[in-house]
Amino acid sequence: MPPRTPHRLIAVLTTTATEQQAAAIARTLVDERLAACVNIVGPIRSVYRWRAAVEDEREFLLVIKTRATLYVKAESRIRQLHSYEVPEVICLPIGRGAPPYVKWLLESTAGGRVAK
C-alpha cells in the first residue's frame, strides 16, 4: 500500500443534466487550474427527492481531483457554471495515492508547486 500523502487531496463530485454542461465545467476547472483532472461518467441514472416528488433522471457524474485548499474556489466556480438550482457538490478525501500521480496532481493545480 502506498504511504499516506502529506498533501491534502480531494475528489469533488457533481452531476449535470447534459454531457455538454459536464464538459464545460470540466474544461473550465482544468483550464483555471482548480482541478488536475475531471472524469465524466455517464450517462448515469439518478433517483432523488426534489420538491416533494421522487425524480428519476439521466445525469452525468463529474469526478474532480484537486487540492483541499482549492475546494472553496472550485465549489464556487461549479455553482457559477451549473444550471441546477441546488447542484450536488460534495467532497471526498483522498487518503493515499501513487506518488507520481500525487506529484502530477499537485503540479497541475493552482500553485503548481509540490510541498516538501
Of 18, 23, 17, 35, give the one whose Cα is nearest residue 75.
35
Question: Where exactly are the structural domains of the chain?
Answer: 4-108
3-class secondary structure, 77: helix
> What is the pTM assigned to this prediction?
0.90
d(C-alpha 110, C-alpha 69), whole Å: 9
Arithmetic mean of pLDDT over the chain: 92
d(C-alpha 10, C-alpha 102), whole Å: 11
Architecture of domain 4-108: 2-Layer Sandwich (3.30)
Confidence category of residue 110, pLDDT binned at 50, 70, 90 = confident
